[in-house]
Structure 1
């Protein structure tokens, strides 16, 4: 049995397998396993968790699925044997022009997930793909290859989205994203939430009470089976499946894929590092099993390589960061605190030395008209005041870049020195839209870059809009902040050769299905002129 087509096999063996430094020859042609399930049959449709594509290149992309006919039962309802899964890629959605096909093995060790690295395709065009196993066939997905590096590109459009709490709203935003004519999606993280089922009672967000729209299964998740079941629960959502089937994703994780506000070897509960490493390893395995990631991201114990770059012709270089695995533990108990001496320590880091050097080298060498830094948490040095407090002291979130001021200063210094006027930061995590400019905390107010922080898909439920006390306070006290609103949605970026435009998309409600989508605000950045202005 040939496990992949010849073009993909040669590329994989020649570049990805050895260059990634993997501990095993993952891409070599392998004999049919002795325990292969030769004639697979299933108690129900095996593609219930949908299909997806991701990590696009100029000659291909990853296509993903997981066989799980009974997603919430042990092993997803699968026999614990490898299963051969056929795949096809075509130039049209009717598959009259199949250009690549092969067979991949769905291994029980990886929850019968399949990650096919398709190669040998033409650049900068759409393709359609599907899977088949036994007599069953998946839905048809659509992906897209990137332009060739250096090729002239006049326009790239993408969406940034994340923070999708299953209990707090319907995933309507993903349905709307599926309908957007964009080139890719950047998922900044919090794909799942690790918390226990809240039960039938109401929950509170920012002082407002909501009934859970739907419920988690079980308690807080710790085991591999727990994480697999939680991913399967989220993956079963039809709106999320529609977005994955429509567009290629650049995936990134934040904290809730493992545990709230974890940082490197530390969780929020004081668990010994050597014990937390077990939980992190299990969570990362389940994450890989459910995402359209390349084999270079296969977890090695409790770590996985997630920072990577993508070049869209001569128009855009995208740097996808990992601000969880390599950071120092949060200062001052991870509370909203004044900027004390600890946050300025040169021994504290947000990215780690190796990732920081990789980013700085990439930015310095970039010849693209624009550079995108796509990461998880806010870069803006946002001052907050507690309305209930008797003091007016300035406080900041220690989990965000202000809690790592030495790293923040180095990042902005490097942008200012090596690529002024063409770097845009796109982030998430904070459950509301923010748009603002980036200035040094110890500088003269000079605008160095700008940031669009995408609000959540559902986390925070319907929200309060832009006239709550917090919104008024942060707009008043932070001159660099141009807009914020506590509503759900996503950011849509439209990048041209000279102007970068971003729409802050919002839904009126997520606690009911099919909420109404609108544009809360639109901003533009002119290349060579750092700073946001209304568009």
Structure 2
């Protein structure tokens, strides 16, 4: 069995109306039966994956789980109904369940769903299918989110996304942080919320720890509302397992540089496997997962693509599982000064790189969007001989790999490429460089739009200059300095938190960046527009749009 074939639940059969008595119940769950609510992901033109989790202390070994799907929120039209056998609820998956509706729904359509168990109905969720491959959508709107450290703020931004008129949500990584002791904070950070791991450790050290983190994060009402309202396409980043992780090809094992046991190959491999399993259990995604594979690289195949008619293709890559060490890894010497990298360095690994370039080559849609976890564009601080590359965990730490990938994209004549990026906890818009380094209005691979952190520490918070007038002044200075040192940047802001929305039409792609107050635990947290930029079809450089309030 291949990784892509493993571990997918059997689909609901069309017209199946099992007599699920619990679906006729009137009880509304208060969170005791479905504590993480419901979610959907893995969209296709004819289906989605539905997800829920039943509380362990609510489980009855003889009680089946019911699920109901309908085209209207009233569920008056004949719904799809299915009874899920009791044995599907078990400790081996932490009582999580996914239901695959592929082949059972209509293209480009909205559906409503709910689960029922022991006389209680879950909250109602809403899901969305993809357009047909030969469809010609007028537009595609994607909300972009990332980096939602539970301990470093509240999720007002996610509540705002829940209410936004978007087609899908793309989560670019760091859905959870592996920390429980406020490790990822700065001089200006407050301690908003606490977590205690089963192991008692400050960093996740077991499958039980990762499960606790997902259960905690997904208990947040604003995150639950987002999942109920939108189908979410998710990738991952380093904190799904360990900060700044990479693969040591000599030891043939992952390395977790900031974990107390992260340099122990056996421990790091076990913990990476645990992080993968927990991600899979709590993420409704159509990815390859084979826990019995002989090698971790064969156990998890995160990279995949989605097509939205002839308008856009979304390509997701995994930039953590296969990457070689960044410059200076395992030594006292920082890699900030850049220079040429080891010719054997890779970000994607050979197989994924070949897959990615093939996806670029075969894309026949107007736009090709790349869900790219870490910054592709160069980011420098200083001038002349004093120039530093402060983010060697990004593609700056892999300049030859970036150059080779850019050359491959250019040789495939990929047009209208747009990178959608997270990780840096900043708003950023830039022109990605060609293989020879060109990045201006005439030459470049295309625009790169970075979405900010929902809550995670940004630059001004890290140095304690994020409050009031001082914060606004410091943020403005940092923005101007960063753009002056990086002329290919059209936007840089590392003083606020929030999310962004990208929209694709046959004529242009646009990016709207929103700031949302993370200091208040409210669905009405204040929101403002940070920037609006656009790139016309055939263009490569983001340009400002007329600014409006919102």
TM-score range, shorter chain: 0.7 to 0.9
For residues 11 and 419 of structure 2, the distance between their equivalents in structure 1, rounded to whole angstroms, comes to 38
Provide the aligned C-alpha RMSD in A.
2.7
2:196 to 193, 199, 217: 217
- Structure 2: distance between partners of 1:24 and 1:370: 32
Residue 86 (structure 1) aligns with:
66
How far, CA to CA, are the matches of 2:287 and 2:487 in structure 1?
44
Give the CA deviation at 1:444.
4.2
- TM-superposed deviation, 1:300: 4.7
Structure 1 residue 358, shift from structure 2 partner? 0.8
Normalising by structure 1, we get a TM-score of 0.86
> How far 1:391 sits from its partner (Å)?
7.8
Q: Residues 24, 362 of structure 1: CA spacing in aligned structure 2 closer, same or farther, 3 A cutoff?
A: closer
Give 3-state SS (helix, strand or coil) of 2:501's partner: strand
Q: Is the Cα–Cα contact under 8 Å of residues 82 and 112 in structure 1 kept in the other structure?
A: no
Output the CA distance in 2 between the equivalents of 1:439 and 1:466: 30
| Cα deviation digits, residues 156-210 of structure 1 (max 9, x gap) | 10111010011111100100000111111110111111112349xxx852x42x3
Alpha-carbon distance in 1 for matches of 2:150, 2:164? 22
SS in 2 for 1:256: helix
Please report the TM-score for the alignment, with normalisation by the length of structure 2: 0.83
Match of 1:529 in 2: 539
Deviation at 1:476, TM superposition (A): 1.1
Over residues 80-132 of structure 1, what are the superposed CA-to-partner deviations in whole Å (9 max), with x where a residue is unaligned? 95852111110001111244221232222101100111132110011001001
1:229-268 CA distance string (max 9 Å, x none):
1111101100000000000011111011111111131111
Deviation at 1:506, TM superposition (A): 0.9
Deviation at 1:405, TM superposition (A): 1.3
Q: Which residue of 2 aligns with 1:277?
A: 269
Does structure 1 retain, via aligned residues, the 8 Å contact 2:180–2:195? yes
1:183 corresponds to = 167
| Cα distance in structure 1, aligned partners of 2:177 and 2:108 | 35
Change in Cα spacing, 1:253 to 1:23, as seen in structure 2 (3 Å) is closer
- Aligned match of 2:143: 159
SS at 1:167 equivalent: helix
2:498 matched residue in structure 1: 489
Say whether 1:53 aligns with 2:20.
Answer: no
Pairing 1:365–2:352 present: no
Write the distance in 1 (CA, Å) between the matches of 2:30 and 2:480.
55
Q: 1:379 aligns with which of 376, 387, 391?
A: 376
2:487 to 479, 490, 498: 479
Of the three residues 240, 243, 246, the one matched with 1:260 is: 243
Count of matched residue positions in the alignment of Structure 1 and Structure 2: 491
List aligned pairs for 1:82-121, cutoff 5 A.
84-104=64-84, 105-119=88-102, 120-121=104-105
Quote how far apart the aligned CAs of 1:512 are.
5.6
What displacement does 1:509 show?
Answer: 4.5
SS of structure 1 residue aligned to 2:39: strand
Deviation at 1:410, TM superposition (A): 2.2
Contact 2:335–2:397 (8 Å) recurs in 1: no
1:19 Cα shift?
7.3
2:119 maps to which of 135, 147, 157: 135
User: Partner of 2:177: helix, strand, or coil?
Assistant: coil
- The equivalent residue for 1:443 is 437
Provide Cα deviations, 1:373-403, integer angstroms capped at 9, x if missing partner. 00211001110249xxx98333242110111
Deviations 1:270-308 (A, max 9, x none): 522222110111121111111112363454564411111
Distance in 1 between residues matched to 2:130 and 2:478, nearest whole Å: 41
Identify unmatched segments of 5+ residues in structure 2. Answer: 13-21, 248-253, 546-550
Gaps of 5+ in 1: 1-17, 30-37, 69-75
Q: Provide the residue aligned with 2:49 in structure 1.
A: 62
